[in-house]
A and B are shown apart, each in its own frame.
Chain A
Amino acid sequence: MLNEHAKLLALFKQTGEIIGRKKLQKMVYIAKKMNLPFNEKYQLHMFGPYSEELSLRVEEVCQLQFVSEVKEKKGGYQQYRYELSEKGEDFLSMMSFHFPDATGMLEDMNHKSSKFLELVSTVLYFEELPKKEVAEKVFKLKAKQNYSEADLDEAYAYINRLHQVAPKKGAYS
């Protein structure tokens, strides 16, 4: 029953509150690339990989009150805070599925800025290309974000660290 929704709740359980829709999108994408069992389809959009399927799924878990969504004004724009609710905890406890414990990796990701996670997820999106070509893509497609060579190196170093702690491919599906 709603296995894909339950995975999302399991992620919230491990991360605690996530602030920002963009951050949530990038965290799920990076988690998926690190072999956590997410199946949402992603495409490259304005701020890097984005999944419409995930957006709708988040909307669903919020409407079911499994996750609380708090909308607040920050500067000139709206910001959203997401957190697993008690009802969501109850639902999760009834589900008989295994979601790997990646609390350390997910919490660490949650402490990064959404701009950095946008860069990390974009690099992962092009992971089959050599670093030089990835850099070209990033600087062309994300010109407005003004990422530097140092930012890119940091993103690669971060991805390497993630790979070291991530579950093995095929461990969960």
Chain B
Amino acid sequence: MNSKTELHIQEGVPPDMRRPDGKLDEEKVFKDPVHRYIHVRDELIWKLIGTKEFQRLRRIRQLGTTFLTFHGAEHTRFNHSLGVYEVMRRMIGNLEKKSEWDPEERLVCLASALLHDVGHGPFSHSFEKVFHMDHEKWTRRIILGNTEINDILLQMGDDFPAKVANVIAKTYDNKLLVSLISSQIDADRMDYLLRDAFYTGVSYGQFDMERILRVMRPQEDQAVFKHSGMHAVEDYIMSRYQMYWQVYFHPVTRSAEVILSKILHRAKELLADNYAFKINPVHFTTMFEGEVTLKDYLKLDESIILYYFQAWEEEEDPILSDLCQRFMNRRLFKYVECDPSKQMLIWPELQQLFKTIGLNPEYYLVIDSSSDLPYDFYRPGEKDERVPIHLLMPNGELSELSRQSDVVEAISGKKRTDHKLYFPKDLLTDQTTFPEEKRRILSLLMNQEG
């Protein structure tokens, strides 16, 4: 361990709090609006929370641009990560009553829960789309690379960081442990559904997590749920379904995501064309060039991104400037429902009309689809590639949830796809220039609305 980290650790945990069993002398608690309290008794967890890589998560919102739709959604990856850790701690507490747990595996599990999102960047969904990045790879690099997190994990043993990284990558040998963090019903989803519902202020999204944890039963490859707890699991599936359509897939949030992605595309394009930015975008350079170092990546957070967006409002490039003004001042694109199989017939004409009126269709005419979203529904069926949720029946056999639950079966068959076409309606309704072309565009857009 380097001296800098040593100093950091000593500052984080006074020497009198260190014990040979790895526990803090006094339990630490974080007040939390979702779980009431988050309890920390393991020195490892306390030290990990104090690392600069984990503290960086305070500057990355959990729901990206959703705050532009639901103003309460300002919660961060930091809150959520602590929440997942707490759910996992309670989960293990319940499972420990039913089966033996290796103390080291317990810590691997808790550390993995805490660190599972540490590789997320600012507005990571858009960044990942534009720059073809994967936050899980960054999580792995942060855990295994030259970081404070790695230094602390190494104190548990040379192979401890790799174990944590493997759990998060789902390549760890103990599949039960992996499933607690990443499966169709896991600590991650349970926390984010409850937390996102709380912070957005929506009334749906509630389910009885304590009940679910109580009816959880460990099996070799996954945790299953006692049949008597089926209704609590049904509520969880309903919550997932409703949050998907009402919050995660909200059309206004998608509009903000579309503009954000287009800003990044434009900046990348300008940089490639050697455009002279008024302020050199040093934080983006290696990302645009596809050679981001860990050090550069860890410097990125939402405050940096918003700083550039504000600066770019004053840029000479009209597209970059306009898109940034739209994002910063919430002047988002409007949308119409879109059927791409019909849209394709008018698409060439629409594109040409946009060019005629001076709008680049690459940036101002955008289709957004459900598959562009990083959230999913519950997919039932034993032949799916993802392990389904199983109920433990009174006779000891396992049965897939949708075979027992009419509610889950009913929503599983519903339409899951959706396409919307986004455009700057304000520029089209201002008919001081190109009135005929703009009327034609609006007519084409509105008439294809389903």
B246 at the A/B interface (Cβ < 8 Å)?
no
B171 at the A/B interface (Cβ < 8 Å)?
yes
Given A43-B136, A44-B170, residue A65 in contact with residue B341 (CB < 8 A) = yes
A163 at the A/B interface (Cβ < 8 Å)?
no
Decide if the interface of chain A is mainly helix, strand, loop or mixed.
helix
Contact A60 B369 (CB under 8 A): yes
Instruction: Identify the stretch in B8-16, B25-33, B225-233, B381-389 within 8 Å (CB) of chain A at 4 or more residues.
Output: B381-389
Q: Which residues of A are found within 8 Å of B129, using beta-carbon distances?
A: 39
Contact B134 A56 (CB under 8 A): no
Contact B376 A59 (CB under 8 A): no
Given A64-B341, A94-B347, residue A25 in contact with residue B367 (CB < 8 A) = no
**Least CB separation from A87: chain B residue:** B341
**Least CB separation from A4: chain B residue:** B371
Q: Which residues of B are found within 8 Å of A137, using beta-carbon distances?
A: 171
Contact string against B for A residues 134-152, beta-carbon threshold 8 Å, 1 for contact and 0 otherwise = 0001001100000000000
Residues in A50-69 with C-beta less than 8 Å from chain B: 50, 52-53, 55-57, 59-60, 63-66
Contact B170 A43 (CB under 8 A): yes
Q: Count B interface residues, CB 8 Å.
A: 32
Contact B369 A90 (CB under 8 A): no
B211 at the A/B interface (Cβ < 8 Å)?
no
Given A1-B367, A2-B367, A2-B369, residue A46 in contact with residue B387 (CB < 8 A) = yes
Decide if the interface of chain B is mainly helix, strand, loop or mixed.
loop
Contact B370 A78 (CB under 8 A): no
Q: Which residues of B are found within 8 Å of A52, using beta-carbon distances?
A: 376, 386
**Least CB separation from A22: chain B residue:** B385
How far does the Cβ of A78 sit from chain B's closest Cβ, in whole Å? 7
How far does the Cβ of A165 sit from chain B's closest Cβ, in whole Å? 23
Q: How large is the interface on A (under 10, 10 to 19, 20 to 34, 35 or more residues)?
A: 35 or more
**Least CB separation from B387: chain A residue:** A46
Contact B416 A44 (CB under 8 A): no
B417 at the A/B interface (Cβ < 8 Å)?
yes
B406 at the A/B interface (Cβ < 8 Å)?
no
B340 at the A/B interface (Cβ < 8 Å)?
yes
Q: Which residues of B are found within 8 Å of A87, using beta-carbon distances?
A: 341
Contact A44 B169 (CB under 8 A): yes
Q: Which residues of B are found within 8 Å of A39, using beta-carbon distances?
A: 129, 132
Contact A56 B173 (CB under 8 A): no
Contact string against B for A residues 4-24, beta-carbon threshold 8 Å, 1 for contact and 0 otherwise = 110000000000000001100
Q: How far is the CA of A172 from the CA of B421 in the complex (A)?
A: 26
Residues in B161-177 with C-beta less than 8 Å from chain A: 169-171, 173
A45 at the A/B interface (Cβ < 8 Å)?
yes
Q: How far is the CA of A22 from the CA of B170 in the complex (A)?
A: 19
How far does the Cβ of A30 sit from chain B's closest Cβ, in whole Å? 15
Q: Using a CB–CB distance below 8 Å, which chain A residues touch chain B?
A: 1-2, 4-5, 21-22, 25, 39, 41, 43-47, 50, 52-53, 55-57, 59-60, 63-66, 77-78, 87, 90-91, 94, 126, 137, 140-141, 173
- Which 4 A-B pairs have CB atoms at the shortest separation, nearest pair first? A56-B371, A57-B371, A50-B385, A60-B417
Known: A91-B344, A94-B348. 9 other contacts (CB 8 A): A41-B134, A43-B136, A44-B171, A45-B386, A46-B386, A53-B374, A57-B371, A64-B340, A141-B173
Can you list 17 A-B contacts with CB-CB less than 8 angstroms, sorted by A residue number?
A2-B340, A22-B385, A39-B129, A41-B128, A43-B136, A43-B182, A44-B169, A44-B171, A46-B387, A50-B385, A52-B376, A52-B386, A56-B371, A56-B376, A56-B416, A57-B369, A91-B340
